[in-house]
Structure 1
């Protein structure tokens, strides 16, 4: 039986928000909670919700940030 990649089977994720400066340098790394609020502490979010929250937050931040689902 072939092994399934962990990234596809893990049901929970952490959403990191990387805030960038004018020159594109990393200023701060924060996280999103289940309600979509930016916090200093990581929160575990179900995978499907995490993908939606991350996409929405990326639209809000635009070039000022980079959102990643871990």
Structure 2
């Protein structure tokens, strides 16, 4: 009976491991999706910062030009 008991115990362990692997696979997929959304948000933020930098540089150039005209 101990051989059958050990075989059933080993089978139970394998089934539990399969559940764990399935859970890890789902967690990795979810993490991948979150990382993808984060990368997209980072790109959007980079674009917004670039536009703001352009506006600031344009305003600085206009202010410098205005000062030269007044002098």
TM-score bracket relative to the smaller structure? under 0.3
Structure with max Cα Rg? 2
Structure 2 length as normaliser, TM-score?
Answer: 0.25
Q: TM-score, normalised by structure 1?
A: 0.26
Higher helix share: 2
**Which structure has the higher relative contact order (CA within 8 Å, separation 6+)?**
1
Which structure's residues are more often strand, by fraction?
A: 1
